[in-house]
Structure 1
Amino acid sequence: MKFVVIKTKVGLLEKFAELQRTDNIFETDRDKLQLSSWFGKECHFKLLYKISRDGGSPQTFHNLCDNKGPTVTIFYNTDNNVYGGYLSDSWRNGPAEPWREPPVWKSKTLDSLKEFIRSFQPKEELNVPEVNILLVGQVGAGKSSVVNTINSVWKGEISSRSWAGSSEHSLTTSFTKFRISDPSTGTYLKFRLCDMRGLEETMDVKSEDIAFLLDGNLPNKYKFNPAARATKDTPGFIKEPTMKDMIHTVVFVIDGSNVEVMPDGIIKKLKDIKEMLIERDVPLLVLVTKIDKVCSDVDKDVEEVFFSNAVKKTVDKVSDIIAIPRSHVLPVKNYEKERTLQNNICILAMEALKQALLFCQDFLENQS
């Protein structure tokens, strides 16, 4: 039996027919015209895979056929009979069902998420005008890129509010509280993304500084000193912080592409911070970044994220390392190589932000 897969750009194929056995896609133009007539429009076919040419390896099949859009499959047997079928979705080398319910990848979904975030408002009686979300992660994990990605979604263009890139040590050296504006209203949204120095095994942030951050003692623009912790004599130190100064949710940002080789010292630091959060009843959310480097299918199409076994395993691994529910671990893709905004990247970012705001709301309700 010979087996070929060809790519087509048309809709539903309702009939199958006998085709001539051939080393090309079709032996004559008649066969191509016959298929086109069943589709109801002229079709342009491209040969993707042929078992006599490419071999019978499942891996080869998926390498050549995955994420190519609708395809027609044709089987030739030794009796010169021909069978075929049409697949309206792309082939994919992964579970038939998503490992987590994916969003609807439409503009309406993004608009709905942005409307929720736009209308988010902390309770007035708590005197908290905007919630504080602290981003914590290893150097290079993408903390600052999370800030830039979220700001880009609202700005409508690729933006750079915070330094991002590769470096031996953290590019972020100060505690910075970023406000994000909504161009449609001309006002700031009711949250601040708080960036801090990246975690390192050597030039690390002092545990005392992190405790001061959580409790609201350290001022905006406080510059971290790896050699010495902050004290009550530090310029701008807030001796009697109120609820509005505190951190309301912490987000760990973890590089999904190096989870397996994350240094023990970084893991210990994250677990130590988690213990501080438990003591203060501060919620914890985890963002897994660089999912495009975890899975080549996701690199080609971000919408494959919840069908990717590799991403699922990474989320499970992070959940096990941090010891939190998997539902609190969200895969995201930061803007890095892209020059224009993409709905799927924006939707993942806004879903993560929405969850962080809901966690902030939980924290504030526990204080009332």
Structure 2
Amino acid sequence: MLCSLNRDNQSALQYVKNYKPHAEGQQVRILLHGPVGAGKSSFINSVQSVLHGRMYTLALADNTSDCSFTKKYTTYKIQKGGPDSFYPFVFNDIMGLDRNGVPVDDVRLALQGHVKDGYRFNPVSKMSNDDPYFNQCPAANDIVHVLVCVVPADTVHPIKDEMVKKIREIREEASSLGIPQMAILTKIDMTCPEIQGNLKKVYLSRHVKKKMEQFSADVGIPMNCIFPVENYHNQIDLDSDVNSLILSALRDIIKYGDDFINLKKSNDRLICFNVA
């Protein structure tokens, strides 16, 4: 984990900008989930800001409510170059996993590609297969290729048992589908005074490491799959250290998603070969 924060900043940016899936028209679908107020929408906005080189708001976010600001299953594309050109990866944002949040069954359906964009979540009722937003026949681009749990460092310990149970259930479903899983630890600047104003110390911080270890023990995500970041939330200008953490996480998210796509295609070809 110990590394120089800015050592590969430029290479990470170039990887993201140059990334192209092997199959024409393929895109990496990234599903973000986690507690209310964890920073899922803010992470999407932060990625957009880094890639555009200026502050940008694509996903609406709200840090003033205990209720999930995101109500619908929403797909976010990031523009690249002209108005009809986009990066070959998309983010999906969902309701928080709290008591009155998205049902775990709906997340399972989303992982399998059965939830259409715009579906409005109902905390007390899971999606039915006769719902107009139910996708009966998901295509390769509809399924989720990497699952990312977003948790805030300032509240990650202790996580309520109910939240841990939901995250573990979702992880088990993703694992059964072979979908890789990662975690993003947000709000590190708000929980660790020693790195406030100096994010270069993030991987030297015992406090951040302890938070990561506790979350890893709670939900089972390996330490090398947990990335600490500071989202842009009250800054006016971009910061190279903030960018570095976001790019490091984004690069590995894309790599994991790309590996899953390639593995799935290889397995599909193998099945077809055996059937033939």
Task: Please state if 1:349 is matched with 2:250.
Answer: no
Task: Please state if 1:366 is matched with 2:263.
Answer: yes
**Contact 2:97–2:103 under 8 Å retained in 1:** no
Partner of 2:46, secondary structure, is: helix
Partner of 2:236, secondary structure, is: coil
What's the counterpart of residue 189 of structure 1? 87
Q: How far 1:188 moved relative to its partner?
A: 0.9
**Contact 1:259–1:314 under 8 Å retained in 2:** yes
Q: Greater relative contact order: 1 or 2 (C-alpha under 8 angstroms, separation 6 or more)?
A: 2
Q: Which runs of 5+ in 2 are unaligned?
A: 267-276
Count the aligned residue pairs: 264
What's the counterpart of residue 20 of structure 1? none
**Contact 1:219–1:237 under 8 Å retained in 2:** yes
User: Hey, what's the Cα distance between the residues in 2 that align with 1:336 and 1:326?
Assistant: 26
User: Hey, what's the Cα distance between the residues in 2 that align with 1:301 and 1:188?
Assistant: 33
What's the counterpart of residue 200 of structure 1? 98
What's the counterpart of residue 105 of structure 1? 6
**Contact 1:155–1:183 under 8 Å retained in 2:** no
Provide, for residues 3-58 of structure 1, a one-character-per-residue CA deviation record: whole Å limited to 9, x for no partner. xxxxxxxxxxxxxxxxxxxxxxxxxxxxxxxxxxxxxxxxxxxxxxxxxxxxxxxx
**Contact 2:4–2:200 under 8 Å retained in 1:** no
Task: Please state if 1:296 is matched with 2:196.
Answer: no
Task: Please state if 1:120 is matched with 2:8.
Answer: no
Structure showing greater Rg = 1
Cα–Cα, structure 1 residues 255 and 134, in superposed 2: closer, same or farther, change >3 Å?
Answer: same
User: Hey, what's the Cα distance between the residues in 1 that align with 2:243 and 2:85?
Assistant: 20
What's the counterpart of residue 173 of structure 1? 71
User: Hey, what's the Cα distance between the residues in 2 that align with 1:256 and 1:184?
Assistant: 37
TM-score (norm 2): 0.91
User: Any residues of structure 2 matched to 1:322-333 within 5 Å, and which?
Assistant: 322-333=219-230
Q: How far 1:128 moved relative to its partner?
A: 5.3
Cα–Cα, structure 1 residues 311 and 148, in superposed 2: closer, same or farther, change >3 Å?
Answer: same
What's the counterpart of residue 77 of structure 1? none
User: Hey, what's the Cα distance between the residues in 2 that align with 1:257 and 1:282?
Assistant: 28
Task: Point out the more displaced range, 349-358 or 253-262.
Answer: 253-262
Cα–Cα, structure 1 residues 154 and 186, in superposed 2: closer, same or farther, change >3 Å?
Answer: farther
Task: Please state if 1:272 is matched with 2:172.
Answer: no
Cα–Cα, structure 1 residues 104 and 286, in superposed 2: closer, same or farther, change >3 Å?
Answer: closer
User: Hey, what's the Cα distance between the residues in 2 that align with 1:308 and 1:281?
Assistant: 33
Q: How far 1:110 moved relative to its partner?
A: 3.1
Provide, for residues 250-308 of structure 1, a one-character-per-residue CA deviation record: whole Å limited to 9, x for no partner. 00001111111321111111011111111111100000011112211211211110111
What's the counterpart of residue 152 of structure 2? 255
What's the counterpart of residue 97 of structure 1? none
Runs of 4+ aligned structure 1 residues displaced above 6 Å come to none
Partner of 1:300, secondary structure, is: coil
Specify the code of the residue in structure 1 equivalent to 2:191: V
Specify the code of the residue in structure 2 equivalent to 1:111: Q
**Aligned residues: percent identity?**
28
**Contact 2:36–2:98 under 8 Å retained in 1:** yes
User: Hey, what's the Cα distance between the residues in 2 that align with 1:205 and 1:223?
Assistant: 10
User: Hey, what's the Cα distance between the residues in 1 that align with 2:28 and 2:248?
Assistant: 17
User: Hey, what's the Cα distance between the residues in 2 that align with 1:352 and 1:237?
Assistant: 31
Partner of 1:253, secondary structure, is: strand
User: Hey, what's the Cα distance between the residues in 1 that align with 2:25 and 2:131?
Assistant: 24
**Contact 1:154–1:181 under 8 Å retained in 2:** no
**Contact 1:154–1:183 under 8 Å retained in 2:** no
Q: Which runs of 5+ in 1 are unaligned?
A: 1-99
TM-score (norm 1): 0.69
Provide, for residues 115-157 of structure 1, a one-character-per-residue CA deviation record: whole Å limited to 9, x for no partner. 1112212221xx6521100000100111111111001111222
